[in-house]
Amino acid sequence: MKDQTLFPLYNKRGLPETPQRLSQKSDDTPQPTHARRIYIETYGCQMNVSDSELMAGILTQNGHQTVTHIDDADVVLVNTCAIRENAETKVINRIKHLNHRKRRQPELIIGICGCMAQHLRDRLLDAAPYVDLVMGPDAYRNLPVALDSLTGGVEAYVSPKDRDPFLGLRLDRTEDYADIAPIRKDGIRAWLTIQRGCDKMCTFCIVPFVRGRERSLPLKLLVADVEKLVDQGFKEVVLLGQTVNSYHDNHSDFGDLLFAVGEVNGLERVRFTSPHPADATERMIDAMASSPTVCKHLHLPLQSGSTAVLERMRRTYTAEEYRTLVAKLRERIPNIALSTDIIVGFSGETDDEFRQTYQMMADIRYDSAFMFKYSEREGTLAHKALPDDVPETVKGQRLKQIIELQERISADINTDAVGDTVAVLVEGESRRDADRYHGKTDGFKTTVFPKANSRIGEVVNVRVDNTTAHTLIGQIV
């Protein structure tokens, strides 16, 4: 009975020819068996933020309600990250804390979702037996069924002490949630997942194991999504994927998608994250160079400046190839803003190999960088075959060196912008000063300026008067 009422709505195979998201409740929407109030807490990357919006969509379509305060909730779902050990440690501490809450509120359902759930699987239940639900990124369709099975739904009441934990850990290479309309907070910037999973298999990375094989959503559906987002008032869309530029829907590639989205009427800006250097095609560069809507900002993860390390990481490009790509990007798109990800202390990284990373950062002069110490992840190729042999203190020293270097470069680049006029999409009131707005430049620099007569959602020209390492400060001109 449960299956019959729930599955028609979620039957992927029943999709219409041109897929559409179910954005409205239809008459066949199953009545809530037992409506729950759900608080979703998100850790990790933008993909997780986007997945939480998807979870909210699935739950709401099924008659449940999401709440913005944990005190109002009878279900807490923690959407987790597994990328580095400290991401998991943070969540473990958070779950322990939630258990205190559960002592006061025994009916509370605690669910662990996302990458860490997929990574640790039922071992999570050994560490935290009070967890009721463990669900990986491809199983969110089962959330309503899971909640019913934990509580008994309408059929019977299940007391907390009789609950059997629900595990949803199957990775499904066909799951793209194409029929689910995510529920987003109102705002200026919307995140749109265009691709799930990753096929690259970098040796250090857990993502392919917890998010499964790569799959892309159809271009037509995505363009229709962007049109709807514009109708809802969003001005900027960020296309998301683990290797976003390897997007392919059997007919169109990432360049095609960028051009198509760039042409959507009323959209101010489109960005994307994160591309893989090996998939940076001419057509992608063409779209960035020629479409006025496509932002001239590229987050291009380097990881290491040493070809030998890149080989051990299986990044599939050499340091030279990466430099050539950057030179080409700068030639085709003058003033392009570049950012990157760097890992220090990967297996076997020598002083000399580290120096090559340092030198490459000094030469390329990124606008900003996310920098990490290598964190060995159980289940990855490196965990099986390459020792985590750079001492923690050495990793720490190397990280400190590149952070200092990058801070200087970012500050210098910002100082050079003094006197320039930059186009800023106004996002909201500055947290520190109610008389000022903040927004981003095309190159993704945070800019703060007095409101004058500007409005949220508008693009204004700001003359830069002053800067810090991370912010431009100016006046509307």
Site residues for ligand F3S per CB under 6 A: 198, 200-202, 205, 207-208, 242-243, 276
Tell me how far apart the alpha carbons of residues 82 and 85 are, in angstroms, rounded to a whole number. Answer: 7
Q: Which stretch binds ligand SAH (CB under 6 A): 258-266, 283-291, 367-375, 397-405?
A: 367-375
Residue 83 interacting entry, from ligand SAH, ligand F3S, none, C-beta within 5 to 8 Å by type: ligand SAH
Residue 369 · residue 305 · CB < 8 Å:
no
Show the tokens assigned to 168.
């949803």
Beta carbon of residue 396, minimum distance to ligand SAH (angstroms, whole number): 13
Q: Which helix (H) or strand (E) holds 449?
A: strand 446-450
Query: Phi and psi dihedrals of 447, rounded to 5?
Result: -130, 135
Tell me how far apart the alpha carbons of residues 361 and 380 are, in angstroms, rounded to a whole number. Answer: 27
Tell me the sheet residues that pair with 299.
339
Beta carbon of residue 208, minimum distance to ligand F3S (angstroms, whole number): 5
Nearest CB to ligand F3S, comparing residues 87 and 202: 202
Query: Phi and psi dihedrals of 301, rounded to 5?
Result: -55, 120
Q: Which stretch binds ligand SAH (CB under 6 A): 5-13, 176-184, 201-209, 385-393?
A: 201-209
Q: Which stretch binds ligand SAH (CB under 6 A): 325-333, 370-378, 406-414, 424-432?
A: 370-378
For the chain, the distance separating the N- and C-terminal CA atoms, rounded to the nearest angstrom, is: 64
Interface with ligand SAH (CB under 6 A), residue from 177, 254, 374, 444: 374
What three-state secondary structure class fits 216?
A: strand
What is the DSSP secondary-structure string of 244-296?
A: GGG-B-SS-BHHHHHHHHHTSTT--EEEEE---GGG--HHHHHHHHH-TTB-S
Interface with ligand SAH (CB under 6 A), residue from 74, 286, 341, 429: 341
Nearest CB to ligand F3S, comparing residues 47 and 117: 47
Tell me how far apart the alpha carbons of residues 447 and 465 are, in angstroms, rounded to a whole number. Answer: 11
**By CB under 6 A, residue 343 contacts ligand SAH:** yes
Residue 317 · residue 360 · CB < 8 Å:
no
Count of residues of this chain found to bind ligand SAH when the rule CB under 6 A is applied: 17
* C-alpha triplet 15, 20, 25: angle, nearest 5°: 95
Residue 406 interacting entry, from ligand F3S, ligand SAH, none, C-beta within 5 to 8 Å by type: none
Beta carbon of residue 225, minimum distance to ligand F3S (angstroms, whole number): 23
Residue 10 interacting entry, from ligand F3S, ligand SAH, none, C-beta within 5 to 8 Å by type: none
Using CA atoms of 207, 243, 236, 38 in order, give the dihedral in degrees to the nearest 10: -20
Nearest CB to ligand F3S, comparing residues 36 and 84: 84
**By CB under 6 A, residue 375 contacts ligand SAH:** yes
> Looking only at residues 76 through 135 of this chain, which bind ligand SAH when binding is defined by CB under 6 A?
83-84
**By CB under 6 A, residue 242 contacts ligand SAH:** yes
**By CB under 6 A, residue 151 contacts ligand SAH:** no
Residue 326 interacting entry, from ligand SAH, ligand F3S, none, C-beta within 5 to 8 Å by type: none
> Looking only at residues 26 through 45 of this chain, which bind ligand SAH when binding is defined by CB under 6 A?
45
Beta carbon of residue 318, minimum distance to ligand SAH (angstroms, whole number): 17
Detail the DSSP E strand segments found in 62-186: 65-66, 75-80, 109-114, 133-135, 166-168
Residue 269 interacting entry, from ligand SAH, ligand F3S, none, C-beta within 5 to 8 Å by type: none
**By CB under 6 A, residue 294 contacts ligand SAH:** no
Tell me how far apart the alpha carbons of residues 358 and 137 are, in angstroms, rounded to a whole number. Answer: 36
Residue 343 interacting entry, from ligand F3S, ligand SAH, none, C-beta within 5 to 8 Å by type: ligand SAH
Beta carbon of residue 161, minimum distance to ligand SAH (angstroms, whole number): 39
Tokens 């998807």 identify what position? 54
**By CB under 6 A, residue 278 contacts ligand SAH:** no
Which residue lies nearest ligand SAH, judged by its C-beta?
Answer: 274
Nearest CB to ligand F3S, comparing residues 75 and 202: 202
Tell me how far apart the alpha carbons of residues 118 and 135 are, in angstroms, rounded to a whole number. Answer: 7
**By CB under 6 A, residue 395 contacts ligand SAH:** no
Determine the residue type at 95.
I
Q: How far is CA 43 from CA 57, 121, 196, 369, 407, in A?
A: 18, 17, 17, 20, 25
Using CB under 6 A, list all residues that contact ligand SAH: 45, 83-84, 204-205, 207, 242-243, 274, 301, 303, 341, 343, 372, 374-375, 377
